[in-house]
A and B are shown apart, each in its own frame.
Chain A
Amino acid sequence: AQSVAQPEDQVNVAEGNPLTVKCTYSVSGNPYLFWYVQYPNRGLQFLLKYITGDNLVKGSYGFEAEFNKSQTSFHLKKPSALVSDSALYFCAVRVLNTGGFKTIFGAGTRLFVKA
């Protein structure tokens, strides 16, 4: 079955330290991968995506993600965390299914950045 996993429910990091939010996927064919962020009482906001090309993708708010085909991973990273980065982060993969493309979201990882 095609799926995406976020193995950590929560990630804690101190402000100024680097952060990583993990995502792994299982799809047949080429994966089209996305990261979204959700702040309290808001909808999701798109951060970045990998479709093809360079494995390191840069996105909004200083975030980046590295596509690793051999490890089937697409971890989200930021060199220096801010308190304002505290939010819920969702990894997603767009896959070709019977009936067309569909997007599968991970369960989400809550990021806490302490001052």
Chain B
Amino acid sequence: EADIYQTPRYLVIGTGKKITLECSQTMGHDKMYWYQQDPGMELHLIHYSYGVNSTEKGDLSSESTVSRIRTEHFPLTLESARPSHTSQYLCASSDGTYNEQFFGPGTRLTVL
């Protein structure tokens, strides 16, 4: 079944730890995105990719990094987590110019 997956769904971690949030999609979409969203609030684009080996920073400055080595996989990494990184992170994918984005279920990150 075509879908977009994010793991873990919830993560509680201590300050200074390195973390990687996983995102995979089985739809063959060329475009993928990472958004940061505080619960019930607006979305902020932090990274996007238009294809393999292509990554760009979004509108909201973020200390995270991303990679796109395979079409289906777009992981986000924080080298040293801080309490200010506590938020929900949503991954999405799309294809074409006018098509909608498909969102994963999100990862709720809490940094203590």
Contact = CB atoms under 8 A, between A and B. Distances in A.
B71 to A, nearest CB: 18
Contact of A32 (B50, B98, B103): B98
A29 interface: no
Contact of B103 (A43, A88, A100, A102): A43
Given A43-B92, A90-B43, A108-B42, A51 B98 contact: yes
Given A51-B98, A100-B50, A88 B90 contact: no
A44 B103 contact: yes
B1 interface: no
Nearest to A99: B56
Specify the main secondary structure of chain A where it touches its partner: strand
A46 B106 contact: no
B104 A34 contact: no
Contacts of B6: 43
Contacts of A45: 103
B90 A43 contact: yes
Interface of B: 4, 6, 40-43, 45, 50, 56, 90-92, 97-98, 100-106, 108
Interface of A: 32, 34, 36, 41-46, 49, 51, 88, 90, 94, 99-103, 105-108, 110
Given A43-B103, A101-B97, A106-B42, 7 more contacts: A34-B100, A41-B108, A43-B6, A51-B98, A94-B98, A103-B45, A110-B40
